[in-house]
Structure 1
Amino acid sequence: MIDLVYLSGGKAGLLGLLVGALLGGAARMGDFCTLAALETAMLGRDYRQLHIWGIALGVAILATALADAAGLIAIGHSIYHAIAWNPLASIGGGLLFGYGMAMAGNCGFGALLRAGSGDIRSVIIVAALGISSYFTLSGPLGPLRDLVFPQQPAAGPGGIANDLAGWTGLPPLGFALAIGAVLIVAGLRHPRVAGSAVTIACAAVVGLSVTLGFVGTALLSEGGLAANTIEGPSFTVPVGRTILYLMTATGMLPSFSVGVVFGTFAGAAMVSVWRHSFRWEACDDPRELGRQLFGAVLMGIGGVIAMGCTIGQGLTGFATLAWSGPVTLAAIAAGAMGGLLQLVRGDLI
């Protein structure tokens, strides 16, 4: 008799591989990068990549809200709503992650994209992030994290749309559609974005990959023995899971999150080869490598505390309109901007 858990795991891994390939390939093709968006806006007054981010986020919110309304998913089954929101964890973890992102020169997702383009430094950053995430999740820092940032089940439905609906009496779906539409329209206001069909399409695919993950994992959850849950792309703890899988998972099939990590790397690599932009790169400055490793460790710790990264909270969590999404994303942006200013001033030790 076929083991249903084993079969479900195989399907979940393939689903993750597909979602990751779409996400990684579209991000690489469409210049979707969180740190680059913040850096070009802050230092160069170029807001093009922020507008791309807005389109991707708007599409993710719209598609996720519609999937929830159609009964394809249940947003309340995601970790962003099933676990009670801890504002201190979102702010503290986000600031730590953002500062580490500036020091490392990329977030975990961005490092995977660069690794797929031949950047060996990014492979080291990804490894350090993954190890530090598990060090914080279930390793020596786990008890301290539980003590300072405890996670409790949510008391009931919450989130931005539900709270606004409760305050006004209007339907939550209307608020979700309005927020998503505003973000898309705002993103399209940049002339260089609006004038590029490829950029718009890539941003849309980035957003849709989140909803595809939600819908796919919901269907697998209903048809298997797994708990009834939905999952989208994230790149903190899943990177640690991928490292564990590579070291210990003999005879086991990858989970959804591990498949996403593999798929993102593969998608970025395929686009880089197709665009003839694949180049082997290494770090010849030990001080720079040390700073990047330090930043990767901070990202791993901060991402676990905040329960997500630029993608895990900033895109996936925000797509469900959980309060943790925008608050964590804002904290990440603030931490990154502080780190970038420090790098520009050159006052790092």
Structure 2
Amino acid sequence: MNTVDISSLSHQALWITFFVTVLLGAIMQRTNFCTMGAIADLFVMSDLSRLRQWSLAIGVAILGVTLFSTAGLIDTSKSIYTSSKLMYLSILVGSTLFGMGMVMASGCGSKTLVRIGGGNLKSLVVFLVLGLVAYMTLRGFLGVIRINTLDAFFITLNTNQDLPSIVAEELSQPRTNVHILLGLIIGGAFILFALLNKSFWTIKNLLAGFGVGLAICAVWWISGYLAFVAEDPNTLEEVFLVTNSGKMESLSFVAPYAYSLDWLMFYSDTSKVLTIGIVAVLGMVCGSAIVALLTKTFRWESFVNAEDMANHMIGGALMGFGGIAALGCTIGQGLSGISTLAIGSFLAIPGFFLGAYLGLRYLQMRLAPNPCA
């Protein structure tokens, strides 16, 4: 394959990612898919509807990745989630901080983009703070702190940290067979939880679950198959085109915030190129804006007072640091990561729930009347 082919392939991958994420942003705007909202509904109103949406999306993503992997279309061992190094403390602390942050900021990274598309100026501030703190946690002084503290605690496994690899190693069975079995069982369990309640069977809920899950699968296919080159003519090594990590990626909305700001600020630097993550950020906003305008729900919204602004800025900062430490957000770890059946992703989900609960308790205390007043 020559350089022109690689360039063409990169552009093709970026355009397809853009269209996929435009559809995803439109679906999230139309169906009100929101991980933070799902957890808040559970704790505050004991309503499982949006949690079932998330569960259905997880199940669909797991089954899709299992199908792609066993068919040889993608190799999950080459993703950022499945390395043999399990940084358990970073993931647990990071996911908890992220969970707190998404409550204070009125939504996670994906919801922030959807809200921006709907005219929410508060979310625009969250985007800027989250992206800045995420960049500092990747490459700045917060990164040094993270590496010397949280990242110093890890377990190195004998195999990749995804369940199929671990179980196959323990049972001395072919990994492909184990992956099919675990994918069907775990993915099926998530889908069963979602569909078991007949009241969940509405067009809105099914569109949210299947739409989001299939979008995760689509981007895995784009980065892991379409934009994968087995032998780069320049280096003679395999390469995953248009990814920031240099590995196979799917959707996540923390590090791509940082890379988006970096690309915008240093646009004239030819080394700064568009990637799947950056294009996905733009696609999400565009998709949400299209639906908001067509349904006449677009409206400008700003902060109520200084405390509202402070909460959103603190929330954005917590998500920026926590999302990088945890190797992903509720979409990154909570959907993309868990679709690979990575142990780290299963550790992150309880952290998101714990952090969201703590964030909700904090806001409830702030809203409670002061008996001494």
Length-normalised TM-score, structure 1: 0.92
- 8 Å CA contact 1:13, 1:253 repeated in 2: no
Give the structure 1 partner of residue 216 of structure 2.
210
Give the structure 1 partner of residue 243 of structure 2.
none
For residues 79 and 105 of structure 1, the distance between their equivalents in structure 2, rounded to whole angstroms, comes to 28
For residues 297 and 22 of structure 1, the distance between their equivalents in structure 2, rounded to whole angstroms, comes to 28
For residues 273 and 258 of structure 1, the distance between their equivalents in structure 2, rounded to whole angstroms, comes to 23
Indicate the larger mover: 271-280 or 68-77: 271-280
Give the structure 2 partner of residue 160 of structure 1.
163
Structure 1 unaligned runs (5+)?
Answer: none
1:6 Cα deviation after fit: 4.7
For residues 68 and 290 of structure 1, the distance between their equivalents in structure 2, rounded to whole angstroms, comes to 44
- 8 Å CA contact 1:24, 1:263 repeated in 2: yes
Give the structure 1 partner of residue 122 of structure 2.
121
For residues 46 and 327 of structure 2, the distance between their equivalents in structure 1, rounded to whole angstroms, comes to 31
Q: How does 1:188-267 map to 2 (within 5 A)?
A: 188-194=195-201, 196-218=202-224, 219-222=226-229, 225=232, 227-228=239-240, 229-250=247-268, 253-267=273-287
For residues 83 and 32 of structure 1, the distance between their equivalents in structure 2, rounded to whole angstroms, comes to 32
Give the structure 1 partner of residue 92 of structure 2.
91
2:350 maps to 1:308 = no
Length-normalised TM-score, structure 2: 0.87
Q: Deviations over 1:3-29 (max 9, x none)?
A: 566545433432331232232222222
- Supply the AA of the counterpart residue of 1:295: G
Q: Aligned pair in 2 of structure 1 residues 25, 5: CA closer, same or farther (>3 Å)?
A: same
Q: Deviations over 1:264-315 (max 9, x none)?
A: 1111111222222111111131111011101110110011111101111011
Indicate the larger mover: 178-187 or 271-280: 271-280
The structure that has the greater radius of gyration is: 2
For residues 44 and 75 of structure 2, the distance between their equivalents in structure 1, rounded to whole angstroms, comes to 41
- Supply the AA of the counterpart residue of 2:343: W
For residues 43 and 301 of structure 2, the distance between their equivalents in structure 1, rounded to whole angstroms, comes to 27
For residues 158 and 264 of structure 2, the distance between their equivalents in structure 1, rounded to whole angstroms, comes to 37
- Supply the AA of the counterpart residue of 1:63: G
2:353 maps to 1:333 = yes
Q: Deviations over 1:71-129 (max 9, x none)?
A: 11000010101351211111011111111112212111111111111101101101100
2:343 maps to 1:323 = yes
- 8 Å CA contact 1:10, 1:255 repeated in 2: no
Structure 2 unaligned runs (5+)?
Answer: 233-237, 241-246, 369-373
Give the structure 2 partner of residue 11 of structure 1.
12
Aligned residues: 347
Any idea what SS the aligned residue of 2:81 has? helix
Any idea what SS the aligned residue of 2:328 has? coil
Aligned mate of 2:312, from 292, 310, 313: 292
Indicate the larger mover: 48-57 or 280-289: 280-289
Q: Deviations over 1:178-210 (max 9, x none)?
A: 11111111101233321x134213311100111
For residues 285 and 344 of structure 2, the distance between their equivalents in structure 1, rounded to whole angstroms, comes to 27
1:153 Cα deviation after fit: 8.3
For residues 102 and 202 of structure 1, the distance between their equivalents in structure 2, rounded to whole angstroms, comes to 21
For residues 18 and 352 of structure 2, the distance between their equivalents in structure 1, rounded to whole angstroms, comes to 27
Q: Aligned pair in 2 of structure 1 residues 8, 140: CA closer, same or farther (>3 Å)?
A: farther
For residues 331 and 40 of structure 1, the distance between their equivalents in structure 2, rounded to whole angstroms, comes to 17
Q: How does 1:175-186 map to 2 (within 5 A)?
A: 175-186=182-193
Give the structure 1 partner of residue 244 of structure 2.
none
Q: CA RMSD in A?
A: 2.2
Q: Percent identity?
A: 29
1:41 Cα deviation after fit: 1.0
Give the structure 2 partner of residue 270 of structure 1.
290
1:143 Cα deviation after fit: 1.8
- Supply the AA of the counterpart residue of 1:72: L
Indicate the larger mover: 249-258 or 285-294: 249-258
